[in-house]
Structure 1
Amino acid sequence: MRTLAYIILLFLLLLFSCKKNDSVAYDKNAAIFFDKNYIDKLGKNKKEKYLDSIVDLLKLKKNDSTVRNSYLKTATEYYYINNFEKSLSASLNALRLSKQSDDSIRMAKASYYVGDCYINSKKDSAYFYYLLAEKLYYNIHDYDNVGRMLFNKAYVLFYNGNYVECEVEIAKALRYLKKSTNHQLIFSCNTLIGNCLEKLVEYDEALHYHKLALGELEKMKINGNDDSNEINNYYVSSMINICNLYDLKGEFPKSIKILKSLLSADLKKSNPRLYANVLSNLAYSKMKNRNYENIGLMFFESLKIVDSIGAESDILYKKIHIGEYFLSQKDTTKAIQILKEANQLAVKIKNSNEILTSLKFLSKIDKTHRLFYANEYIKLSDSINTLQKNAHNKYARIEYETSRIEDENKILTKKNFYILIISFGLILLLIIIIVLRSLKYKNKELEFLKEQQKANEEIYQLLTEQNEKINVAKENEKAKIAKELHDGIMNKIYGVRMNLGFFNSKVDEKIIEKRKEYIFELQNIENEIRTISHDLSRSSFLEDNDFDVLLLNLIENQKDISFTQFKYLNDGMFEWSSIQNLYKINLYRIIQEAILNVNKYANAKNCEISVQKFNDASLIISIVDDGQGFDIKNKKNGIGLTNIKERTNSLKGEFHIESKIGVGTKIKVTLHF
């Protein structure tokens, strides 16, 4: 029957929008831009000019938190005077500046404000910005506002006739608000899900949620909410929703009794629009109960009130009710006239549900244009069905109901207790079996690891022997160079020295030229000695760093097989000869395994490998890459990481890994000896 629920939900959404400035803390530093007390005293035109001057000033200021706050406050004030275009502009500026500063809190708030500005003109855009705000609020753990954005999204879906998906979004909101003290928001969510269920013809469930909404009003009273008039308006709205359900179930006397009790002079004075809705609904319930006394006057009085206010959605619903009234009085001409007006108004404000309602009535009573209205009805109905075809299922509401029941029912029955004990026993038995199998596997793995370590020792021994052969060859080469120095260069220097001594006493030109030749020869000897000296220096650098040679060779070999640039760092504060072979071979294998992992999975540009000695009792190996990283919690360790961990554990060392997607990976191994 009723589309009045739409009005109530619109009232609730606008109420949240008007109160959104409460969440913006007043910033004393913003006083140079925004004087709230002064603005509140201005009329609409002067207020708009004052806000325009603030915006012009803000454009000249550097982007900081004060400027962003001022844009948000200005957007709110524009919204209060119904200048949605300028409110949208200020909100978008706040969003742009917040993105530049990576200010998540104000990005969320600005997105929320932009959605509010679009709610009456571009519902798809409003939905998009509410969704953006929802994600941002979720990232900063502001779950009350996550629930609020889900409510706003559901509101958009409800007014587009997508009741199933609307129900899903509200169920999500209620899950986020389970521990919230924002009873007003929870009240609105329960009201909206009740209206969704009404549209889905689940009247008993809808009634349940409307009663939950009334429970939230009681909590608001208990918590000391001083605005009793506001709570009373909520109460009247909820009772109207409940009466709608009674009418849909055919229980008209219940509805009439409640609505009569709601009509009062105080309500008419404090909230004429709500009074008009109660009056119209009472007339409708009486009409459905075939009690036609004064209902025409009641309908027209309610229409007159909302018409004076200019509430088009209210006018639409009243005209549809009046059309039904004329039909009940067999006045087809007036019924057609008023329903045509309702249809035109529904098209104007894009209310698809009431377009369908008016078309349905007109197709039945307007014999001349019956076929036209029927075709229009079918066309629009098919369009709506197509949009709703891919809607989410109802599991979200079931999940919410389940979690709520679990919170309320903490005491288990005896039967459930036995089931729990048996289940626990079976699980424990399963765990024992798994542990035993795991231990058996670990023992085999340790045996294999010992054999592997023995093989590694043998390999290292062979490598050491090979290095000794290399050192012998170096020694032979150095002896050869020393002989060359003694037999060749020293003789040359002696000959040059003798000749220069001989020619030193002569001064003719030939002798001078000859002396120059010997000086040039000395330069050649000098270059030859320098070359030999450099060769010897390089050899001496490697004499005491055999294991470093192995590591360097391992890393240098990656240049030909990998796109990653590997870099090896050694603080040079210790000698490898003081380290046991067992530690060196495991260290070598750990680095080798890490390099293999980087090449296979990291997709890194750079990788740094460092070895440091700490307190003469520990080695710290660090492997850091700038690759794609991975989620440590969700990804199981591969064979490479497992091998590294096992080698570390076998030496009673410590293994630590850090990684984030898109950031890279850091492996740290500490060995104690």
Structure 2
Amino acid sequence: MKTPFKIISLFLVLIIFSCNKTESSSGEIKTSISLDNKSLVGKRKEKYLDSIFNLLNAKKNDSVIRNLYFRLSTEYYYNKNLNKSLATSLMVLKLSKDVNDKEGIAKALYYIGDSYGNIKKDSAYFYYLQAEKLYYKLSDYDNTARMLFSKACVLFYDGNYVECEVEISKALQYLKESKDQELIYSCNALMGNCLEKLTNYDKALWYHQMALNNLEKMKLSNKDELNNYNVASTINICNLYDLKGEYSKSIQKLQGLLSKDLEEKWPRLYANVLSNLAYSKMKNGQYHNVYLMFSRSLKILEKSGDESDILYKKIHIGEYFLTQKDTLKAVQILKEANRLAIRINNSNEILTSLKLLSSLDKKNSFYYANEYINLSDSINIIQKNAHNKYARIEYETSRIEDENKVLTKKNLYMLIISFILILLFLIILVLRYSKYKNKELQFLIKQKKANEEIYLLLIEQNEKINIARENEKTKIARELHDGVMNKIYGIRMNLGFFNAKIEAEIIEKRKKYIAELQNVENEIRMISHELNQNSFFEGNDFNKMLTILVDGQKDISVTQFKYIIDDSIDWSIVQNIYKINLYRIIQEAILNVNKYANANNCEIKIQKIKDNFLRLTIIDDGVGFHVKTLKNGIGLNNMKDRTISLKGKFKIKSKIGIGTVIEAVFNLDAIV
């Protein structure tokens, strides 16, 4: 029944360790804001801390401000305001996440776990677990072990001793190379207490002895603090001696701890040592002064107001009265202990008091035994659920991490695939752009080549035009020289011969020569008209021009000329070069008909065939001629040359006494 004192001693070690841990982690901050005002306590301290919290909210998020939040959370914690400690820790967690401060995030998770503490053990366990994993990723193995220790404490106070042992074993593995002797000491002490609960007393004793060995390596500036560690470990060792029945060893060690200095500085710890000594003496059968020791211990603890310690002392006093066979006092004090245990919800001591009462209070023995069984079953169920709960937290956390890993892996694959697709897209884009630029270059080369060909064609065409122009000039000159000049010369000679005679017959012949001069005049006019033909075609209706040309023959020719108009032809889109050559071919044909054909009728017709083809047909009913014999005729050759120059086709059909058919077909797209 000495276990409660062992738990108290462990709790004392944890508080000392926690205090040192928190202050050392933030003690290096230099700031004008003071959080160490020891003159303020309770509500005044809380109000002071609130003002600092509000002040920090207006500050920029940096490492100094975050460390101040950590210190503020610690001050709230020791001022017993866990809600505000939790709120402050959550705030610094957010700030740390905002700047991706991994160490700050892990530390904030640790503080949140401490803030939940015994209020929500599963939440505390969850945040310790998160902090542990993050510290491990940061290769901070001391703090990884610290989180394992914190998890083990939660498991220990929930009665999950096997899981507690596993967590402490992991922590000690991480601390093999560590120089943090305080943390190692705490882990060894908790392992000893855990093994004690698992009834492995020898191994538990070994771990408590290891904890004492750690004390020799610890460098603490406060000797009182080192002494308190020593007292706590000694109490733990004496608990094991008592459980093994070695009460004399326990009495010897505990008596060595009692001192006036301990009583004055640490009255609660002194009361626990005194009570444990009384308990060991009682178990060893040394009843002298035992009740006084229990009473004095109880009196000291009642001043501190710690109901848990008072509960344990009353149970031990009840046991003492039981050894003294004072059943009434034993039942009275145990009932008080039972009521106190129920009020503070200490299930272990409720069971202890019920068990003792069931054996002492014969009248209500059945009631107490039944309550004991019901409560024991309930505790077993709770512990089983607690075990499942923490296992579930580990599993769910692990599952979430696995899902995150899978998600991260998927995201990585998606990122890689996206990168490859983007790269392929860029490659395709570059290739297409290169292909486009290459096509553009090829097009420019072809365009340049086409321009060169066009230029050459234009030069060639100009040469042809110049040649045609020269040929026309030559023809006109020849016509003037060979035709007109000869005619004028002959007429002039005949008129000179007949001018001196006045006979009627001579006068008639003179009239004929005068008419012949009129014909020469018309011929000269026609040649002159040809010389101005280029400018004449611009902006005039081609059909009208041809009509005027044909109608103009009425006064100078016996042949009836007829021009048949095809209204489907849009002469505005036909190139001038075609119109010029058509006009001259018709003009040449009319001249030949007038000079040689002796025809009564001549039909001139231009038709549109297919899409861009024109056909010129000139038909007369004159005397005709042999085509082969007149193959080298100048007029016909001129017409043929003009047609061929436009890449057209020229045909002549003629028979003596029947007439002549001249046909020229032009492709308007042949010359672009």
- What TM-score results when the alignment is normalised by the length of structure 1? 0.57
Which amino acid in structure 1 is aligned with residue 14 of structure 2? L
Q: For the residues of structure 2 that align with 1:510 and 1:355, how far apart are their CA atoms? A: 129
1:335 paired to 2:330: yes
- Structure possessing the higher radius of gyration over alpha carbons: 2
> Which secondary structure does the structure 2 equivalent of 1:3 belong to?
helix
Aligned position for 2:565: none
1:57–1:492 Cα change, 3 Å = farther
1:226 paired to 2:225: no
- Residue by residue over 1:484-535, the C-alpha shift from the partner in whole angstroms, topping out at 9 and shown as x without a partner, is 9699988997899899x99777542659x9787879xxxxxxxxxxxxxxxx
1:370-449 matches, cutoff 5 A: 370-384=368-382, 386-387=384-385
**Which of the residues 94, 98, 101 maps onto 1:100?**
98
1:35-74 matches, cutoff 5 A: 35-36=34-35, 39-40=37-38, 42-74=40-72
Verify the 8 A CA contact 1:356 1:380 in the aligned structure 2: no
Aligned position for 2:255: 260
Q: For the residues of structure 2 that align with 1:354 and 1:205, how far apart are their CA atoms? A: 26
Q: For the residues of structure 1 that align with 2:13 and 2:190, how far apart are their CA atoms? A: 10
> What's the CA shift for 1:326?
2.2
1:43–1:310 Cα change, 3 Å = closer
> What's the CA shift for 1:345?
3.5
> What's the CA shift for 1:41?
5.2
Which amino acid in structure 2 is aligned with residue 8 of structure 1? S
> Which secondary structure does the structure 1 equivalent of 2:127 belong to?
helix
Which amino acid in structure 1 is aligned with residue 264 of structure 2? K
> What's the CA shift for 1:360?
2.5
1:300 paired to 2:310: no
1:5-404 matches, cutoff 5 A: 5-19=6-20, 20-24=22-26, 26-28=28-30, 30-31=31-32, 34-36=33-35, 39-40=37-38, 42-220=40-218, 224-367=219-362, 368=364, 369-384=367-382, 386-387=384-385
- Residue by residue over 1:245-265, the C-alpha shift from the partner in whole angstroms, topping out at 9 and shown as x without a partner, is 111111111111111121111
Q: For the residues of structure 2 that align with 1:518 and 1:151, how far apart are their CA atoms? A: 104
Q: For the residues of structure 2 that align with 1:503 and 1:313, how far apart are their CA atoms? A: 130
> What's the CA shift for 1:119?
1.1
- Unaligned segments of structure 2, at least 5 residues: 392-438, 470-532, 543-569, 577-672
Q: For the residues of structure 1 that align with 2:124 and 2:304, how far apart are their CA atoms? A: 26
- Residue by residue over 1:93-150, the C-alpha shift from the partner in whole angstroms, topping out at 9 and shown as x without a partner, is 1112212222111111111212222113222221122112212222222221111111
Aligned length: 428
1:503–1:267 Cα change, 3 Å = farther
> What's the CA shift for 1:295?
1.2
> Which secondary structure does the structure 1 equivalent of 2:118 belong to?
coil
1:380–1:507 Cα change, 3 Å = same
Aligned position for 1:441: none
1:320–1:516 Cα change, 3 Å = farther
1:508 paired to 2:544: no
> What's the CA shift for 1:386?
2.5
Q: For the residues of structure 2 that align with 1:14 and 1:62, how far apart are their CA atoms? A: 33
Q: For the residues of structure 1 that align with 2:73 and 2:316, how far apart are their CA atoms? A: 38
Verify the 8 A CA contact 2:117 2:124 in the aligned structure 1: yes
> What's the CA shift for 1:276?
0.4
- What TM-score results when the alignment is normalised by the length of structure 2? 0.58
1:328–1:518 Cα change, 3 Å = farther
- Residue by residue over 1:407-453, the C-alpha shift from the partner in whole angstroms, topping out at 9 and shown as x without a partner, is xxxxxxxxxxxxxxxxxxxxxxxxxxxxxxxxxxxxxxxxxxxxxxx
Which amino acid in structure 2 is aligned with residue 283 of structure 1? A
1:4 paired to 2:2: no
> What's the CA shift for 1:43?
4.9
Aligned position for 2:642: none
> What's the CA shift for 1:177?
1.0
- Residue by residue over 1:161-199, the C-alpha shift from the partner in whole angstroms, topping out at 9 and shown as x without a partner, is 111111111111111111111111111111110011111
- Residue by residue over 1:40-70, the C-alpha shift from the partner in whole angstroms, topping out at 9 and shown as x without a partner, is 4545544332321221122233433333222
Higher alpha-carbon deviation: 256-265 or 198-207: 256-265
1:438-587 matches, cutoff 5 A: 507-508=538-539
> Which secondary structure does the structure 2 equivalent of 1:246 belong to?
helix
- Residue by residue over 1:13-54, the C-alpha shift from the partner in whole angstroms, topping out at 9 and shown as x without a partner, is 2223322121125344x54xx3346x3454554433232122
Q: For the residues of structure 2 that align with 1:169 and 1:517, how far apart are their CA atoms? A: 103
Q: For the residues of structure 1 that align with 2:184 and 2:12, how far apart are their CA atoms? A: 15
Identity of aligned residues (%): 54
Q: For the residues of structure 2 that align with 1:333 and 1:505, how far apart are their CA atoms? A: 151
1:381–1:359 Cα change, 3 Å = farther
Verify the 8 A CA contact 1:356 1:377 in the aligned structure 2: yes
Q: For the residues of structure 2 that align with 1:515 and 1:345, how far apart are their CA atoms? A: 122
Verify the 8 A CA contact 1:92 1:110 in the aligned structure 2: yes
Which amino acid in structure 2 is aligned with residue 244 of structure 1? N
1:495–1:70 Cα change, 3 Å = farther
> What's the CA shift for 1:238?
1.0
1:351–1:170 Cα change, 3 Å = farther
Q: For the residues of structure 2 that align with 1:13 and 1:276, how far apart are their CA atoms? A: 19
Which amino acid in structure 2 is aligned with residue 169 of structure 1? E
Which amino acid in structure 1 is aligned with residue 24 of structure 2? D
Verify the 8 A CA contact 1:6 1:159 in the aligned structure 2: no
- Residue by residue over 1:223-253, the C-alpha shift from the partner in whole angstroms, topping out at 9 and shown as x without a partner, is x533211111111111111111111111111
- Unaligned segments of structure 1, at least 5 residues: 394-473, 520-673
Q: For the residues of structure 2 that align with 1:354 and 1:132, how far apart are their CA atoms? A: 33
Verify the 8 A CA contact 1:239 1:258 in the aligned structure 2: yes
- Residue by residue over 1:374-427, the C-alpha shift from the partner in whole angstroms, topping out at 9 and shown as x without a partner, is 33243234325634776999xxxxxxxxxxxxxxxxxxxxxxxxxxxxxxxxxx
Verify the 8 A CA contact 1:160 1:352 in the aligned structure 2: no
> Which secondary structure does the structure 2 equivalent of 1:178 belong to?
coil
Which amino acid in structure 1 is aligned with residue 539 of structure 2? D
Q: For the residues of structure 2 that align with 1:187 and 1:504, how far apart are their CA atoms? A: 120
- Residue by residue over 1:206-233, the C-alpha shift from the partner in whole angstroms, topping out at 9 and shown as x without a partner, is 111111111011112xxx5332111111
Verify the 8 A CA contact 1:118 1:126 in the aligned structure 2: yes
